[in-house]
A = this chain, B = another copy of it.
Amino acid sequence: MIPTVHSAILKNLIQVLDWVGTLAFALSGGLLGVRKQFDLFGVLFLSFVVAVAGGMMRDILISALPPAAITDTHYFMISIGAGLLTFYWYPRVASLQHQILLFDMVGLALFAVIGAQKALDYGINPLMAAIMGMLTGIGGGMARDVLAGEVPFVLRADLYAIAALAAGAAVSVGHVIGSPPLVPMLLGAALCIFLRLMAIYRGWRAPVAPWKNNNAT
């Protein structure tokens, strides 16, 4: 899930951050699985899906096949580790819920900027690259909710997708104005985290249409 970058240090940094994001998302998947009383397998499966589905969707759509999560086993190992941790030490992990929410915020920001940059590296136009960044961030959560038979909460809540989109857009704008990738990636990630914090602590929301829905389909 790593774009071409122009320095080995930056590349390693992004790699580590990508793994941190994977861990955060896998933990949030695992927690949901335990709460839903899934068995061990179901918990591990959900950890893996939440952690990698967004990146897989992006890789399929930008034609970077096979997806990184298939060719690089780190994603799998991290997800399974997080799932096992959640399964066997659930009370401990759940007590860290606040920290995990922060992790998740960081994971969203990192996935979005890394995803947009990878799409640009594969020749996708900047507009759709920003969308691919958003998809990388929210795809895991969408897959989780669809598998759990629920309306994906990213379609309703808390600027989640919008924050990811803002991060992707920052990377695309940086690309268009010819900036080296690192600066817009950092700005984008910061913007994503800022929007999420405002959504959680200040109640920022996207507008909802004021129309009453008394027209049945």
Contact = CB atoms under 8 A, between A and B. Distances in A.
A37 B213 contact: yes
A61 interface: yes
A215 B73 contact: no
B156 A39 contact: yes
A206 B127 contact: no
Contacts of A7: none
Contacts of A45: 155, 161
Given A60-B60, A62-B70, A146-B147, A215 B42 contact: no
The complex is assembled from copies of this chain, and their number is 3
Contact of A128 (B76, B152, B165): B76
Nearest to A49: B155
A94 interface: yes
Interface string A176-217: 000000000000000000000000000001111101010101
Interface of A: 31-32, 34-43, 45-46, 56, 60-63, 65-67, 70-71, 73, 76, 87-88, 90-91, 94, 97, 122, 124-125, 127-128, 131-132, 142, 146-152, 155-156, 161-162, 165, 205-209, 211, 213, 215, 217
